[in-house]
Structure 1
Amino acid sequence: MKKTLITLMLPFCALALNAQTKAKTTTVKKTTTTVKKAPSAVVFKSTLDSASYAFGNTMASSMKNDGLNSLNYDLLIKGLKDAFGNATPLIPKEQSQVAINNLFKNVSKQKNAPIIAEGKAFLEKNKKEAGVQVTPSGMQYQVITRGTGIKPKATDTVLVNYRGTLLNGKQFDSSYDRKEPLSLPLNGVITGWTEGLQLMQTGSKYKFFIPYNLAYGERGAGQDIPPYSTLIFEIELLKVNGK
């Protein structure tokens, strides 16, 4: 009897399950989709409008080329409004220039961090080489030939032959290649030269390893000397001309 009852109930169970399945498949789940509105196109209604945009875009492009990727736009706009509205600046003019210079200096340091690290590592290793001497300023030098003449003063003009290279060996200048020595005032050259040549006697030839802060600093020089470059010079002191 139990077996017959179970047999009779199976079709009804199947029908119930089938009905539940259909109910599930026919239920439509309502979803809501948010349609984002496309940004409205900017309309330049006057020459002032187009020029205003052009000012902002041109300034930003120039700063971006110098390595700056963003600004505090709220304060930038406030600065513009204060200037056009003759309001008292929140920062004095002198401090404003210092702030701008410091910002670009920090950006430049970040951008040129590999060059700075390379120079530091080179000087740290090089100072352990035989014959290399280090001055209090951090410049290093090596005597190739020691002369017997007079030493120049910072106020003197000297006649020299020289060759300058980057750490990778690339030459950026040479009086030897021009076959013409250079006459120059010692107080009108990079700090490393002013300091180094005063160590030399006429007839000497030295090799100098000059940190970037005693060379061309964060700006570099032209296309050949990148910012923050540690430089190597071979210098031959031919003559001291006096003041």
Structure 2
Amino acid sequence: MTKPEVDAPVGPAPAQLEILDLVEGDGPEAVPGATVEVHYVGVEYDTGEEFDSSWNRGESITFPLRGLIQGWQEGIPGMKVGGRRRLTIPPELAYGPAGAGHHLSGKTLVFVIDLLATN
């Protein structure tokens, strides 16, 4: 796969986690608490500005789901290796309300995630 283009969202930001499979994988399924290897792009919902991308670093990243923001912990399980999923994550499932100390606090985030491996 190649780096996805993330279109700037339109309309009001959702209050709940939104999960949309862009490509259905056919490999092993990620389960809660698994360690996953992914490529991803993250953009701010309000501006459509990219704030992070493993593609830009030229390498995927591997980590345990339990160490990630809640939106990833809830949004990746059920995804299959080879799949591409879009997660739209409200602030309370990302970096908390505005003023919580992270530069993305108070922001709704959109991630497009490619699941490369899980165990």
TM-score (norm 1): 0.42
Question: In the TM superposition, what whole-angstrom CA distance separates every residue of 1:91-142 from its partner, at most 9, and x where no partner exists?
Answer: xxxxxxxxxxxxxxxxxxxxxxxxxxxxx93227xxxxxxxxxxxxx21022
More strand by share: 2
Runs of 4+ in 1 over 3 A off after TM superposition: none
In structure 2, how many angstroms separate the alpha carbons of the residues matched to 1:154 and 1:122?
26
Q: Which residue of 1 aligns with 2:86?
A: 207
Where 1:209 maps in the other structure, the secondary structure is strand
Alignment of 1:36-55 (within 5 A): none
Q: Quick check: 1:166–1:232 contact (8 Å CA) kept in 2? A: yes
Higher RCO by CA contacts (8 Å cutoff, separation 6 or greater): 2
Specify the code of the residue in structure 2 equivalent to 1:229: K
Q: What is the alpha-carbon distance in structure 1 between the residues aligned to residue 21 and residue 31 of structure 2?
A: 19
Corresponding residue to 1:155 among 17, 33, 49: 33
Alignment length, in residue pairs?
106
- State the partner residue of 1:169: 48
Q: 1:177-197: per-residue Cα shift (whole Å, max 9, x none)?
A: 111000010111001001111
Residues 220 and 229 of structure 1 are in contact (CA less than 8 Å); yes or no, is this contact kept in structure 2? no
SS in 1 for 2:12: helix
Unmatched runs of 5 consecutive residues or more in structure 1 = 1-119, 125-137
Structure with the larger helix share: 1
Percent identity of paired positions between Structure 1 and Structure 2: 35
Query: CA-to-partner distance for each residue in 1:22-47, whole Å, 9 max, x for gaps?
Result: xxxxxxxxxxxxxxxxxxxxxxxxxx
Deviations 1:141-175 (A, max 9, x none): 22111001121222211100000010211111000
1:220 positional shift: 5.4
**Who is 2:12 aligned against?**
121
Partner secondary structure for residue 73 of structure 2: helix
Which of the residues 222, 225, 237 maps onto 2:115? 237
| Counterpart in the other structure of 2:7 | none
Matches within 5 A, 1:1-243: 121-123=12-14, 138-167=16-45, 168-218=47-97, 219=100, 221-222=102-103, 225=104, 227-240=105-118, 242=119
CA separation in 2, counterparts of 1:186 and 1:123? Answer: 23
Deviation at 1:221, TM superposition (A): 2.5
TM-score (norm 2): 0.82
- Structure with greater Cα Rg: 1
Q: Aligned Cα RMSD in Å?
A: 1.6
CA distance in 1, matches of 2:63, 2:29: 15
